Structure 1
Amino acid sequence: MEAKYKVLRDNIHHNLWNGIFWAIGFNLVTPFIGVLAARLNATNSEYALLSSVPALLTILVTLPAALILGRFRKQKRIIAGLIVLCRFFYFLLIFVPLLPVSKVMALIVLVGLYNATNTIISVAYQSMMGEIIPLGYRNKVFAQRNMWTGVCGMIVALVAGWGIDRLTYPLGYQLAFSVGFIAAMVETWYFMKLKIPSEDIEPDAPHASGTIGEPASSLPKNNFKSRIGRFKLNVQLPFYLFCGSAVIYLFAWQAAWPIFTKIKVDTLQATNMMISIDAIAGAVGSLIAFRPWAFMADRKGNGFTVFGSALSLALSPFLWIYAPNMIWICFYDFLGGFSTAGLTQAIFNRLLEIVPEQGRQRAIAIYTTLSQVSAVFAPIAGMAMYSSVSYTACMSVLGIGRVIGAVCFLIILFPAVAGWFQQMHRQKGLPR
């Protein structure tokens, strides 16, 4: 028993340091992508593509990648290799300003490849965390991890923004991206130190089907139905309702992203230092928020916490109607960071609750794919709305959309609603 708790303590420790070095690399790169795009003279359509193309690539690769990964019992080394590949795109970004043509499109492609690969890693990581961190520890462990990644990210973003503005273009960006890649190598090293119980125990029999926990004889190799069966999920109605609510909410959430970026870098002429301070404001909001949201999740449940955080984040577009300068934007992003911390943490834990261990990776991949469908069209729709109607009307519509999505998260928690959907599914012969 003592050995079991030692493994758990070590996993918590390595997971924490893995998150810290992830935050260092992430905050040396992603906060400055929008500013770099502005330096490269990105158009409104290209701002939208900067969000849509990564989502499209994510849709194309996430589910197939999850199905392929599911064929391997030992996935840790594969995921570590994907982390190295994913973070290598940090390094490739240093060449974008040097290209003779199509600099913005090169930036869009590299960001897309990074995000698509990172999503595969995220799906596998979430599935692994469901295995190595017991349910009773999750809220506390991930709140602690998120708190420290927030602190480190805040410091790194401030130093990086200050340094980029003081070095000549594009040297500042190239240096930040290079250091981000080095930090990612340390992140990978800590990931490899994690102990995955299912990978340390040899199976009783070979699994020719590639499905963990099922003997090869139970799934004939050449049976068409058995191949189709690999796509089936052992999930209940709450998972489908949760996915539907998430798609509604995420569409309204993601539609505003390119608009926010354009307002910051084009309308308000934010420098890299201003973007760093803005990132710090969001990080401070997240830092303050993790423990209160974890406490709320322990008291009220992750399902209700998803609703509460989603509803508070729905206020953001209404606040952005009045955006005279970056000081106000920093305040708005502080509040947004507070809400986003609760939303991402609660969604992660809620998924682990409603998805059974068997088939967890595929279910999370399907949720991720569905959520990315909206991310393809939402930024384009958001920028089209921004160009067609008044700014106030655009922000109001997006805010109302978020409120509707948040209410959906609440409604699906009511037993009467779940019962009604179950009855409809029985009549249609759909899975429960």
Structure 2
Amino acid sequence: MDRHTTNRNLRLLVIELFWASIAIACYSFAAAFLIQLGGSNLMVSLLTSAAALVNALTSIPFAMFLERIGNRRPWIIGSLLALRLGHIGLIFVPFLPAYRAEAMVALLLLINVPVALFNAGWLPMLGDIVPLAQRARLFSARNMTMGITVMTTTFLMGRWLDAAPFPANYQLMFALAVVASLLSTVYVARLTIPPSPVVERTAGRHRPTFVEVRALLRQQRSFANITINTLIFNIAFWMGTPLQPIYFVRELGASDGWLGVWLALISGGQIIGNLVWPRLIEKRGYSWVLLRAATASALYYFLIGAVPDLTLILLFALLFGAVSPGVEISHFNILLEVCPPERRAFSIGVFVTVMNVGFFVATLACAPLIDLVGAQALVLILAGVRLIGALLFVVNPVRAATIEIAKVH
């Protein structure tokens, strides 16, 4: 693509995320909503684990399906529209006479089918339309946009949820999220997306096979390494998704308003991090930043487990937010570069599948582990697992020649 088209795409990618971030902020209260609907610890875990299961089962088939299609634009836009319209159902869940928590989990389970199809096209597309030299700054701009928007929205929504009566407070918030997400979809639809390479398949090879997955992992050592390292590293984050609302609300007595401030401070920290990490990436490279940011992120889990004070946890949230962009920007760019360009969709499909299997197991194991050792002890255990995962990037290194070349230039 020419420079004008590339720059236009970069602007659209930032603008669409502004509107999407409003929706993301609103939906971040989904676990608290489920708890107020009467959902158990297991139901809170299922809220995320069921979604991970759907993604695990569909990511590779969708990726291999899209590999045979040169014009992936209709599938990317169509799946995005479907998943965002699907969230309208959250507004009507409180009207059900019974099984409201179960209905909410089932709804989000169905929504994750188009989510998986969208990711199968969207993630490889970013590698195609965003030049490597501009990725760090683009992702930093997107992260800052998301950080500022999510910080503001979560703070305001937390206050709104405390002030307005239930369930109308959540219903109106989810209505706002739907409108904002549809505006985001409009800007995504304006992207110029070039045709993708098509992988021709012989007869009898239209279904995903373990042979192809095994061959990819054997032939692409760096891809296998980043998959293994990330799987271990993210266990704490995945299990922490249902664990933290349970720990904060049920054990420490946090309110919706406090959760809004907590989420806002994480986003505020991300704004700070996005000002610092891209400069360090330009000076030191992606791998250097990934190792240090990943190690620092484990500190957050140690702190919230060792110091169960809601006021201090807000400060720890700011720290976690500041560290997160260093992990996200460096990790995603390294992942894109270790995927073979001609099979990027399939490679990312395999990666997403493995991550979602881990996500499913981790979130589903959350409730019984809380019953076994307690929420606070589980947080401390996860801190240790997070640190081990970070150190794997030293023991089991990930090397990408294009990343090192980009650093030199």
Q: So what's the TM-score if we normalise by structure 2? A: 0.90
Q: Specify whether residues 213 and 123 from structure 1 end up closer, same or farther in structure 2 by C-alpha distance, changes over 3 A only.
A: closer
Aligned partner of 1:139: which letter?
A: A
2:46 pairs with 1:49: yes
Residues 302-381 of structure 1 aligned to structure 2 (within 5 Å): 302-381=286-365
Residues 133-282 of structure 1 aligned to structure 2 (within 5 Å): 133-198=130-195, 212-213=197-198, 219-220=201-202, 222=203, 233=216, 236-282=220-266
Secondary structure, aligned partner of 1:359: helix
Q: 1: CA distance between counterparts of 2:53 and 2:82?
A: 19
Q: 2: CA distance between counterparts of 1:414 and 1:362?
A: 19
1:325 Cα shift?
4.0
Aligned partner of 2:46: which letter?
A: L
1:85 Cα shift?
1.0
2:272 pairs with 1:288: yes
Q: Specify whether residues 40 and 226 from structure 1 end up closer, same or farther in structure 2 by C-alpha distance, changes over 3 A only.
A: closer
**CA displacement, residues 156-181 of structure 1 (integer Å, 9 cap, x when unaligned):** 22222222332221111111111111
Q: 2: CA distance between counterparts of 1:227 and 1:46?
A: 32
Contact 1:248 1:405 in 2 (8 A): yes
Q: 2: CA distance between counterparts of 1:224 and 1:80?
A: 27
1:391 Cα shift?
4.8
Q: Specify whether residues 239 and 261 from structure 1 end up closer, same or farther in structure 2 by C-alpha distance, changes over 3 A only.
A: same
Aligned partner of 2:240: which letter?
A: A
1:116 Cα shift?
4.8
1:324 Cα shift?
4.0
Q: 1:36 maps to what in 2? A: 33
Match of 2:11 among 5, 9, 13: 13
1:248 Cα shift?
1.3
Choose 126-135 or 341-350, whichever is displaced more.
341-350
1:92 Cα shift?
0.7
Q: 1: CA distance between counterparts of 2:212 and 2:376?
A: 48
2:85 pairs with 1:76: no
Q: 2: CA distance between counterparts of 1:114 and 1:173?
A: 19
1:12 Cα shift?
0.8
**CA displacement, residues 200-256 of structure 1 (integer Å, 9 cap, x when unaligned):** xxxxxxxxxxxx345x6xx54x35599868766496210001101111112233223
Choose 385-394 or 357-366, whichever is displaced more.
385-394
Q: Specify whether residues 137 and 244 from structure 1 end up closer, same or farther in structure 2 by C-alpha distance, changes over 3 A only.
A: same
1:368 Cα shift?
0.8
Choose 263-272 or 52-61, whichever is displaced more.
263-272
Q: 2: CA distance between counterparts of 1:323 and 1:109?
A: 36
Contact 1:44 1:383 in 2 (8 A): yes
Number of positions where the alignment pairs a residue of Structure 1 with one of Structure 2: 396
1:292 Cα shift?
1.8
Match of 1:25 among 20, 23, 26: 23
Q: 1:386 maps to what in 2? A: 370
Q: Specify whether residues 168 and 226 from structure 1 end up closer, same or farther in structure 2 by C-alpha distance, changes over 3 A only.
A: closer
Aligned partner of 2:29: which letter?
A: F
Extract unaligned runs of 5+ from structure 2. Answer: 400-409
Q: 2: CA distance between counterparts of 1:170 and 1:226?
A: 45
Q: 2: CA distance between counterparts of 1:103 and 1:303?
A: 46
Secondary structure, aligned partner of 2:192: coil
RMSD of aligned alpha carbons = 2.3
Q: Specify whether residues 39 and 9 from structure 1 end up closer, same or farther in structure 2 by C-alpha distance, changes over 3 A only.
A: same
Contact 1:238 1:354 in 2 (8 A): yes
Aligned partner of 2:87: which letter?
A: Y
Q: Specify whether residues 115 and 213 from structure 1 end up closer, same or farther in structure 2 by C-alpha distance, changes over 3 A only.
A: closer
Q: 2: CA distance between counterparts of 1:226 and 1:385?
A: 37
Match of 2:84 among 83, 87, 99: 87
Q: 1: CA distance between counterparts of 2:63 and 2:272?
A: 34
Contact 1:49 1:379 in 2 (8 A): yes
Aligned partner of 2:349: which letter?
A: A
1:414 Cα shift?
7.7
1:378 Cα shift?
1.0
Secondary structure, aligned partner of 1:358: helix
Q: Specify whether residues 116 and 325 from structure 1 end up closer, same or farther in structure 2 by C-alpha distance, changes over 3 A only.
A: farther
Contact 1:38 1:266 in 2 (8 A): no
Aligned partner of 2:268: which letter?
A: V
Secondary structure, aligned partner of 1:261: helix
Extract unaligned runs of 5+ from structure 1. Answer: 200-211, 416-432
Secondary structure, aligned partner of 2:340: coil
Q: 1: CA distance between counterparts of 2:337 and 2:273?
A: 21
**CA displacement, residues 127-173 of structure 1 (integer Å, 9 cap, x when unaligned):** 11111111111101110111112111211222222223322211111
1:121 Cα shift?
2.1
Aligned partner of 1:131: which letter?
A: D
Q: Specify whether residues 340 and 113 from structure 1 end up closer, same or farther in structure 2 by C-alpha distance, changes over 3 A only.
A: farther
1:347 Cα shift?
1.7
Aligned partner of 1:260: which letter?
A: Q
1:394 Cα shift?
2.5
Q: 2: CA distance between counterparts of 1:414 and 1:242?
A: 6
Contact 1:157 1:279 in 2 (8 A): yes
**CA displacement, residues 51-75 of structure 1 (integer Å, 9 cap, x when unaligned):** 2111111111211112222222111
Secondary structure, aligned partner of 1:37: helix
Contact 2:291 2:391 in 1 (8 A): yes
**CA displacement, residues 89-120 of structure 1 (integer Å, 9 cap, x when unaligned):** 32110111111111111122223333453343
